[in-house]
Amino acid sequence: MAVAFPTVRGRKYDFASIEVSLATTGQAAQIFLESTGIDWDDTIEETFLYGTNPAPLGRTRGQYTPGEATWTISKQSEAVLLDQLGDGFMETTFDLVIKYSDVGLPLIVDTLEQCRIVGAPGSFASGPDPLTVALKLKPMVVLRNGKTPLVNHLR
């Protein structure tokens, strides 16, 4: 089956195609234009069932684990974020929504649901680079373009 979009010499998403926004309960979503990096992962750990045969006879459904995410933003954006989350900012949960859009390309939306800040390191040095912070986040689930990682995923 052929891919429905151009794969040769066609337009592709780049970092400027990304919009990162934060949504908390009862507040309007806040777009963070000064996001300079975002990465995350999630895994599923499965186990094979072996019997008297050396080959696996089956596998378990597995256990889903959302990994740690890192969101790099400007120091000014961190101040806006902390104002939005308020006191107890490491106990407040929020959704981080990453949208990919560009001319002629379909909108893709990934969501890191129910994130908490679990690390907020600071390290700055002399030089021409703008000050940024790499916040460590722990989401409860990662939705990739609205799709849950598990069938019948409780949310």
- What is the per-residue pLDDT across 23-66, written as a single tens digit (0 to 9) for each? 888 888 899 999 999 999 999 999 999 999 999 999 999 999 99
- From residue 69, how far is each of 28, 42, 138 by CA, in Å? 23, 9, 6
State the pLDDT at residue 138.
98
Whether 133 is covered by a domain: the verdict is yes
CATH number for the domain harbouring residue 81 = 2.30.110.20
State the pLDDT at residue 119.
96
Whether 1 is covered by a domain: the verdict is no
Q: Is the Cα torsion angle 24, 118, 153, 4 positive or negative in sign? A: positive
State the pLDDT at residue 152.
87
Whether 6 is covered by a domain: the verdict is no
Structure tokens at 150: 């598990």
- Our measurement of the distance from residue 92's CA atom to the centroid of its chain's CA atoms, rounded to an integer in Å, reads 17
Sequence length of the chain is 155
Host domain of residue 67: 15-43+57-143
Q: Which stretches of the chain drop beneath a pLDDT of 70?
A: 1-7
The model's pTM is 0.88
Whether 7 is covered by a domain: the verdict is no
Whether 151 is covered by a domain: the verdict is no
State the pLDDT at residue 11.
84
Tell me how many domains the chain contains: 1
- How many Å apart are CA 130 and CA 137, to the nearest integer? 22
Residues of 96-135 as b/e, b for ≥16 C-beta within 10 angstroms? bbbebeeeeeeeeebbbbebbbeeeeeeeeeeeeeebbbb
